[in-house]
Amino acid sequence: MAGAANGFPEFAPQPGDTIVKEHWSSSGFANTDLDMLLKQRRISHVILIGMIANTCIEATGRFAQELGYHVTLVRDATAAMSHEAMHAAHELNGPTFAHAILSSEELVQALS
């Protein structure tokens, strides 16, 4: 609901959306029901976008890969606090957990 409160109603949960309980740490999987909700829906692929590439995105991606998900990291849809952190997230660390590292344009093409 924060998106709606900040003037972006298109980011607010929509009818039928799955809402995952808020996480406390870097990974979206740790201490949440995300894995259970994805498995209930037979979801096997995770697409990572957002902030911060070298912490939250990376931790979520590593956790997802360890749980057996196919992980896609979207290069131009993630952010970090510095160019060096982005480089590390995409070029050095990303290949250790992501099955694919794509641009948003490449992702859209792959999903078509």
What are the domain boundaries of the chain? Answer: 41-112
Residue 5 — very low, low, confident or very high, per pLDDT cuts 50/70/90? low
Q: What pLDDT, on a 0 to 100 scale, did the predictor assign at position 1?
A: 44
Alpha-helical regions (H) of the chain = 2-5, 34-40, 58-66, 83-87, 104-111
Q: What is the pLDDT of residue 6?
A: 60
- Average predicted confidence (pLDDT) for the chain: 91
Please report the pLDDT score of residue 10 as a whole number. Answer: 84
Of the pLDDT bands very low, low, confident and very high (cuts 50, 70, 90), residue 9 is confident
What does CATH list as the number for 41-112? 3.40.50.850
The Cα–Cα gap between 3 and 12 comes to: 5
Residue 92 is given by DSSP the state: I
Q: How far is CA 91 from CA 1, 16, 43, 44, 85, in A?
A: 34, 36, 26, 24, 10
Question: What integer pLDDT is reported at residue 23 of this predicted model?
Answer: 72
Which pTM was predicted? 0.85
